Structure formats: structure tokens, C-alpha cells
Chains A and B, each alone.
Chain A
Amino acid sequence: GAGVSQSPSNKVTEKGKDVELRCDPISGHTALYWYRQRLGQGLEFLIYFQGNSAPDKSGLPSDRFSAERTGESVSTLTIQRTQQEDSAVYLCASSLDALHGAFFGQGTRLTVV
């Protein structure tokens, strides 16, 4: 497809379970970002991949969060032992680089019950 694709679009999980969120960036985009937006809040940076550089993980809120990216393609964000405060919309974005603006996917709405 032409845009950033995220799956699933919605996920309801029980507290304590692990979840995996997927992002397919735009082909050729070397930069990939994960953000989350909690209800009524702004966009919170989680992690950033740029080419072959080591990812910037400075935004990950705890060691329960991790992300992987295979080359310049798919990325997965994994949340282990989910907590209710993890409930949010998780947004993935990709860009050629920061100078070109990032294109966002539709997001994955995660609800932890």
C-alpha cells in the first residue's frame, strides 16, 4: 500500500498479558517512529529507528516495552505484562528523514482491561 499500515487497528487485552503491535512503513522510508497518545494527552515519543543506526529508545516508559525493526521494513512494538495505564492509541510513522515530515498510520487502539 501507499501509506503506513498498522495492525491490529484495535486490541483489547487482559492485564498481565503480552501484546505485539505491527507497523508496515512506507517503502523506502529509512526513519520509523513509535508514539502513543493516551486519552486527552499529546503524542508521547517512544522509540525511533533511523537506518542502520542504533535505535533511540529514550522514550520507552519501562523495560516492559521493546521494539524491533527488520532492516528498513516492518517494525513490531511489544508490551509485556500489560498494565491498565498502557491503554492508549499507539501510532507508527515513517519518513525519508526528519526533513521530509513523517507520515503516520491510523494507529492501534490498545485497551487493557
Chain B
Amino acid sequence: DQQVKQNSPSLSVQEGRISILNCDYTNSMFDYFLWYKKYPAEGPTFLISISSIKDKNEDGRFTVFLNKSAKHLSLHIVPSQPGDSAVYFCAASYSGNTPLVFGKGTRLSVIA
């Protein structure tokens, strides 16, 4: 049973536009959420996180939104750049002391 779901395996966006990557979770105990970015042949790199006491966290072009009632979070990238093309993984944990549970990833392609 997948606790963290990324239902879109791929997304294609034009350069300069907004990219919105979505993630749903089923375990209501999750209280910390993270986004990772992965290029081919590299390990995932941490992008941005949000705890359940917030509904928004912003870092430059990246903003993560959390809707606890819907058990949904999203990553917004604006403006999108070709270098953002990668696989994005959503991850969640609880109690700050549990392993991260990852979604299957969404491949983002930013077209120039």
C-alpha cells in the first residue's frame, strides 16, 4: 500500500511558465514533508521541506504548499528553467525520527 503517491509520472512545461508537481499521502501521522530532485546517474538532492504546522514554505523559485485536510502537497517552480528538468520525488516522515517514505517520482521536462 503506497503511503505517498505521485500520480503523474511525467510533466512537460515551457520555459518561464510555472511547474506544479503534486503529491498525495494517506498516513495522517506524517508531519514532515520533503521534495527531492534527481538527475540521471546522481543521488537525489534535497530541495525544500515543510512541517505540518505550516501550509506554505518558499525558497527562491520553489514553493511547497501543504493541505493537511486533503492530505495533499504540491511543489511550485516559477519560473521554470531547462535546468529544472529532472525527476522530482515527494517524501514524508513522522515524529522526526522515522525513515522517509518516498513517492515514485514525477519526471519534469522544461522545454526551451
Contact = CB atoms under 8 A, between A and B. Distances in A.
Chain A: interface residue count, which band? 20 to 34
Given A105-B43, A106-B43, A56 B34 contact: no
B99 A107 contact: no
Contact of A104 (B45, B93, B98): B45
Given A98-B93, A104-B44, A33 B99 contact: yes
Chain B: interface residue count, which band? 20 to 34
A98 B100 contact: yes
B43 A48 contact: no
A42 B89 contact: yes
Nearest to B95: A98
Contacts of B97: 50, 97-98
Interface string B95-107: 1111111111100
B1 interface: no
A92 to B, nearest CB: 8
Interface string A28-65: 00000101000001111100101000001001000000
Interface of A: 4, 33, 35, 41-45, 48, 50, 56, 59, 91, 93, 97-99, 101-107
Q: Which 8 A-B pairs have the closest CB atoms?
A: A104-B43, A42-B104, A48-B99, A101-B46, A43-B102, A98-B93, A99-B96, A104-B44
